[in-house]
Chains A and B, each alone.
Chain A
Amino acid sequence: AQSVTQPDIHITVSEGASLELRCNYSYGATPYLFWYVQSPGQGLQLLLKYFSGDTLVQGIKGFEAEFKRSQSSFNLRKPSVHWSDAAEYFCAVGPSGAGSYQLTFGKGTKLSVIP
Chain B
Amino acid sequence: GAVVSQHPSRVICKSGTSVKIECRSLDFQATTMFWYRQFPKKSLMLMATSNEGSKATYEQGVEKDKFLINHASLTLSTLTVTSAHPEDSSFYICSAREGAGGTEAFFGQGTRLTVV
Contact = CB atoms under 8 A, between A and B. Distances in A.
Interface size classification for chain B: 20 to 34
Looking at chain B's contact residues, the main secondary structure is: strand
Contact of A99 (B41, B42, B105, B112): B105
B53 interface: no
B97 interface: yes
Contact of B107 (A43, A101, A102, A107): A43
Task: Give the interface SS of chain A, mostly helix, strand, loop or mixed.
Answer: loop
A101 B105 contact: yes
Contacts of A99: 97, 101-105
B89 interface: no
A90 B110 CA distance: 15
B32 interface: yes
Given A44-B44, A90-B44, 11 more contacts: A9-B41, A41-B110, A42-B109, A43-B108, A44-B95, A51-B103, A99-B102, A101-B97, A103-B34, A106-B43, A107-B41
Interface in B71-116: 93, 95, 97, 101-110, 112
Given A90-B44, A103-B46, A106-B43, A45 B34 contact: no
A33 to B, nearest CB: 13
Interface in A42-60: 42-46, 49, 51
B93 to A, nearest CB: 6
B46 A41 contact: no
